[in-house]
Amino acid sequence: MHHMPQGRVHCSPFNLPEINPDRLKTAKALVEKAVQLRRVFSVQGPYPVIRAALRARGWVERRLPCPAPKQAGHCHGDEKEDGDDSNDDNDRGVEGMYDLMSRLVRNETTYFYWTTRRDEIDCRSLRKDQMTNHYAKSGTFTTKVGLCVNLRNLQWFDATNPDTFFPRCYRLGADDEKHAFIEDFRRTACTSLLQHIVERSDGEGREQVEAEEEKVEENLSQSEGPRKRRATRLVSPRMIDRALHVCQEFLNSLDHSDIDVTMETPPSLTEQQWAKFMHDYYLVVHEGVGIEGSGVYVERCQAMLNRLQVCPQLETDGLHNIWIIKPGAKSRGRGIMCMNRLEEILSLVDSDPSLIKDSKWVVQKYLERPLLVYATKFDLRQWFLVTDWNPLTVWFYRECYLRFSTQPYSTQTLDSSVHLCNNSIQKHFQPSQWRHPEVPKDNMWSCSQFRAFLRAQGQGASWGALVVPGMQRAVVHALQTAQDLVEGRRGSFELYGADFMLGRDLRPWLLEINASPTMAPSTAVTARLCPAVQLDTLKVVLDRRADPGAYTGGFQLIYKQATVEVPQYMGVNLLVEGAPLRRPRLPPHRIPVIPDPPLTTHIHTRTNQSAPEAEDKPSSHRPSPCRRPSGKENQSGLGGNRFPKRDEEDGALGCQHTSPTLRLSRRMATERLLALHSEPQKRVRCLGMSLSSNWPLHLVPRTLSHSLSTHCGILGCDTHPSHPNPHPRPAPGSRTARPFLPQSSLGPPRKAPTRSLPTLYGPIPALEVFGLRPSPLTEPLSGPCPTLASDPGLRIHQFLPHFHRQAMATYKGDCTSGGPKSS
């Protein structure tokens, strides 16, 4: 180990620049102001425009560590572009100042993040005042699989059919979608065959197809060698009948006419028949083999195609049944292939088990008949900005650019140089010598150049009336389906790039949506547009945040959803709300008479009479509600009232006369319960009542003992308490018939009848008896209320609630006019 001599300072092998005190003072002042205003940013990736724009606004950069060692000068994305280096000294001085300020804020909080990848920053750990240019879980619509799956749920957000702006797409890793793709491929082969027959019968169509095929053969003759001569044999016309039958079944399914078809119903074509059909289809469409007697099917084929116009993608499907296979989680056109044979597509997917497991392979119907510019295919890159997800806020950029392929368009070849317009792919190919000279050599157009082309074609108004509105609707629909899946955040925003193709009718078709679209100035068009869209993005997310009326550049607000209030979670709280149903009051003449089980009331007025025969009898010997007990029953004590003469009268009258106790008890049994609360013991004794051991739950009159039939719990009584004949009191130690006892002592509980009687006097509470027990006393009642012992009617009158007195008076009046008066 080497020791440094004393007096020397250890120096770094790199020479550190001298720090000018004035520059340091200026840097500290700028940093202090930026920290106070929370203007510290971090950029990761090649975004020099974002850095320059933020520094011009007074922001200070806090450098992020390099994710991986790269070439010098590429750590922070400051790629030096070609140009003059006359101001290198001045640039180094400015960069030195920025480096000094960056070191001063290395321990400060970053308030603005701009990164290339969304996983560089954890959005959940950010504070509310921190901003970032990505949303969490935005891969639900920026990946091929996510867009394919989520657009199927558009019916829950809008009435638009996704097939009108998004080509049919399937995940080949899912078994159900794989079977759906096979059915779609075969059905598309049938419709393509019908179009092939109709177009071949047309002279102009035949000449156009033959000229196109000859041109492609000439272009590819040098690289592919001489093509095989077409076979001269003809295939059977039976394949046309099968194609018409399959198309008819598809129309029936659209009209729900196949509702009676079950899983056990055999398919219209077996697998062997499908294999034969597809083999003949490849010969006819791909190899040019003719069909014997196809001319007689032209009208039927044309009629079926007219009926199939309900399918929005019929015009773009074409003749060759080409599908584009896209591996998931890849960008810039990597791994994308075009195929037109079913067995080749399935074998490609089955060759990679990992992709099958993760369902990453996506197959999408290729637009075989797009709009061409000078016979060359192109697509559009359109930017849009999302600044909020609740409410969903979408900004649409007013400019876009076109990307051309290097080769003339043809469906006779499936080469990527013809069908893929990504600049990352086309830059590896040289433009074809047969391509139209008006197509730019750098393979890009601005939207203004394209609008000029449309005006030359007589369709200048279609851009603003059809193309732009269609792209805006497609973008909004794609975002609506992913709104519940993306983790929205008020301090975040994200710039996306959507790729579109145009049909021959100028209808836009959404292909995919890209997160972190490239901002590389690869051509003159992107060198002008990419910096502009970055600057305008900062105008929307920064300037407009401070000033709502600030200028937003080329961004236009096209959609802002109504705010959706998210209810606060209060746990599981199920509540059933409703209004009670009130029982209607019947008029007096419509009151039904429903017999109730009897309630026998024993009123003791004599003290020296025994009742040895007062024993419990079986329930079968109890009197019916409307029948007076016979003499034997009276002698056994079950009748509760021994009036033979009165019994005969009541039997003859058919129970027309009832006692006030019976009337009141019946009415009390149908009304709300009225709980008898305990009163002071002094008042209880004054009423001639005794308290049981578990007072105040049992409140029992001393001289009253009630017996109730065990098969019900509804009060009912036919006895007349005011009859002059006295009722014998039971002897000491004897039991009364069925006393009011707790349910446990009466045996197993029995269900009480639910019938009820309406009342003539309005709602009157019923009497709820908590507990009654037989009185063991045999002596005459004595106490402060001797009248209770001499007048049973008075005892009942005072025992019942106060609001029954009017009923008693009414009954006495009735007895005075029509029967013996109660004393």
DSSP 703-748: SEEEEE-TT---------TT-SSPPPPPPTT---SSB---GGGGSS
What pLDDT does 348 receive?
Answer: 81
Q: What proportion of the chain, given as a percentage, has pLDDT over 90?
A: 40
The answer to whether residue 694 scores a pLDDT higher than 60 is no
C-alpha span between 151 and 148 (Å, rounded): 6
C-alpha span between 443 and 425 (Å, rounded): 11
Asked if residue 750 lies in contact with residue 712, where contact means CB atoms within 8 angstroms, the answer is yes
**Which of 170-179, 227-236, 559-568 is predicted with the least confidence, judged by mean pLDDT?**
227-236
What pLDDT does 589 receive?
Answer: 66
Per-residue pLDDT band at 121 (split at 50, 70, 90): confident
Structurally, at CATH architecture level, domain 134-164+371-564 sits in 2-Layer Sandwich (3.30)
Phi, then psi, of 353 in degrees rounded to 5? -60, -30
**Which of 225-239, 465-479, 534-548, 664-678 is predicted with the least confidence, judged by mean pLDDT?**
664-678
**Which of 414-423, 582-591, 706-715, 779-788 is predicted with the least confidence, judged by mean pLDDT?**
706-715
The answer to whether residue 581 scores a pLDDT higher than 70 is yes
Q: Which pLDDT tens digit goes with each residue over 317-373?
A: 999 999 999 876 555 556 788 999 999 998 887 776 665 555 577 999 999 999 999
Q: What is the mean pLDDT of residues 22-34?
A: 91
The answer to whether residue 716 scores a pLDDT higher than 60 is no
C-alpha span between 67 and 75 (Å, rounded): 8
CA proximity to 743, closest of 708, 694, 705: 708
Asked if residue 704 lies in contact with residue 799, where contact means CB atoms within 8 angstroms, the answer is yes
The answer to whether residue 294 scores a pLDDT higher than 50 is yes
Asked if residue 371 lies in contact with residue 502, where contact means CB atoms within 8 angstroms, the answer is yes
Question: 303 to each of 110, 244, 268, 297, 629, how far by Cα in Å?
Answer: 66, 10, 21, 10, 94
Burial environment of residue 43 by CB neighbours within 10 A (0 to 12, 13 to 18, 19 or more): buried
Per-residue pLDDT band at 122 (split at 50, 70, 90): confident
The dihedral built from the CA positions of residue 484, 490, 494 and 500, taken in this order, carries a sign that is positive
Name the DSSP class of 163.
G
Q: Which pLDDT tens digit goes with each residue over 62-75?
A: 998 766 544 433 34
What pLDDT does 426 receive?
Answer: 84
C-alpha span between 534 and 400 (Å, rounded): 13
Q: Which pLDDT tens digit goes with each residue over 82-106?
A: 333 444 545 555 778 888 999 999 9
Top-confidence range, 241-245, 415-419, 734-738: 241-245
The bridge status of strand 361-365 relative to strand 508-515 is: unpaired
Asked if residue 801 lies in contact with residue 767, where contact means CB atoms within 8 angstroms, the answer is yes
Q: What proportion of the chain, given as a percentage, has pLDDT over 70?
A: 58
The answer to whether residue 660 scores a pLDDT higher than 70 is no
pTM across the whole model: 0.64
Domain map of the chain by residue range? 21-64+94-114, 134-164+371-564, 168-204+233-259+267-366
Top-confidence range, 155-164, 222-231, 330-339: 155-164
What pLDDT does 718 receive?
Answer: 43
**Token reading at 245:** 């039958």
Spell out where 243-332 has E strands. 290-291, 323-327
The answer to whether residue 222 scores a pLDDT higher than 80 is no
Per-residue pLDDT band at 213 (split at 50, 70, 90): low
What pLDDT does 97 receive?
Answer: 86
Q: Number of helices and strands (H, E) in the chain?
A: 27, 22
Residues 6+ apart with CB under 8 A from 276: none
Q: What is the mean pLDDT of residues 450-455?
A: 96
Q: What is the mean pLDDT of residues 704-729?
A: 42
The answer to whether residue 457 scores a pLDDT higher than 80 is yes
| Partners of residue 707 on adjacent β-strands | 600, 739
The answer to whether residue 378 scores a pLDDT higher than 80 is yes
Q: What is the mean pLDDT of residues 714-741?
A: 44
CA proximity to 145, closest of 324, 326, 323: 326
What pLDDT does 361 receive?
Answer: 79
Q: Across all residues in the chain, what is the average pLDDT?
A: 73
Peptide bond into 696 cis (omega under 30): yes
**Token reading at 444:** 């890009």
Q: Which pLDDT tens digit goes with each residue over 486-506?
A: 998 988 999 999 999 999 999
**Which of 24-28, 151-155, 421-425, 688-692 is predicted with the least confidence, judged by mean pLDDT?**
688-692
What pLDDT does 456 receive?
Answer: 94
What pLDDT does 571 receive?
Answer: 66
Q: Which pLDDT tens digit goes with each residue over 738-792?
A: 444 444 444 454 444 444 444 444 454 555 545 555 544 444 444 444 444 444 4
What pLDDT does 167 receive?
Answer: 96
If one compares 181 and 801, the residue with the highest pLDDT of the two is: 181
The answer to whether residue 152 scores a pLDDT higher than 50 is yes
Q: What is the mean pLDDT of residues 523-536?
A: 96
Residues 6+ apart with CB under 8 A from 609: 728, 729, 731
What pLDDT does 647 receive?
Answer: 46
